């Protein structure tokens, strides 16, 4: 029982060594992070200021609506190394930024977009003809 108590309390050096090696093997595979829960008024500059304390930022981008130019409520930050990104993830997840609680997760690779549909015939105005076999239309 004392062994279990020592293992679960974290006082065992073997468990601490194993735990620290697990922490070094980060779940991040890329130095890019997805930040959700942003205020509609958060700018690229505010996002950069909040995350630059954790390392060398290469990008801080708030995604905006094309029509209104306002934030969509999420963005991305990229660091030079995965270790810096892991520190930022631990330091900023579930913290306040511009009055809103933000969440920081690993960014997923972007999915390729499907090809656009083939162009319509300019002479076709949406009217289709009946192509039933044997029908002459007379």
How does pLDDT run across 33-70, given as a tens digit for each residue?
999 999 999 999 999 999 999 999 999 999 999 999 88
pLDDT at 132 over 70: no
Which pLDDT value is given to residue 7? 44
36: exposed, middle or buried (Cβ count in 10 Å: 0-12, 13-18, 19+): middle
Q: What is d(CA 4, CA 96) in angstroms, rounded to the nearest whole number?
A: 38
For residue 102, the tally of other CB atoms under 10 A from its CB is 22
Q: What is d(CA 85, CA 49) in angstroms, rounded to the nearest whole number?
A: 15
pLDDT at 12 over 80: no
- Tell me what the pLDDT averaged over the chain comes to: 79
Residue predicted with more confidence, 127 or 105 = 105
CA–CA distance from 91 to each of 17, 27, 81, 118 (Å)?
A: 22, 15, 16, 48
The arithmetic mean of pLDDT across residues 112-125, rounded, is 75
Q: What is d(CA 85, CA 82) in angstroms, rounded to the nearest whole number?
A: 5
């Amino acid at each position: 029982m004392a062994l279990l108590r020592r293992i679960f309390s974290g006082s065992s050096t073997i468990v601490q060594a194993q735990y620290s090696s697990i922490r070094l093997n980060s779940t991040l595979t890329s130095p890019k992070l997805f930040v959700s829960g942003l205020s509609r008024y958060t700018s690229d500059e505010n996002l950069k200021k909040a995350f630059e304390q954790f390392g060398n930022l290469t990008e801080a981008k708030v995604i905006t609506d094309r029509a209104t130019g306002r934030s969509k409520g999420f963005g991305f930050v990229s660091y030079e190394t995965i270790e810096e990104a892991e520190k930022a993830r631990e330091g900023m997840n579930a913290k306040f930024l511009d009055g809103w609680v933000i969440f920081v997760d690993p960014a997923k690779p972007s999915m390729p977009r499907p090809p656009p549909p083939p162009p319509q015939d300019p002479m076709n105005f949406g009217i289709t003809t009946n192509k039933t076999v044997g029908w002459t239309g007379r």
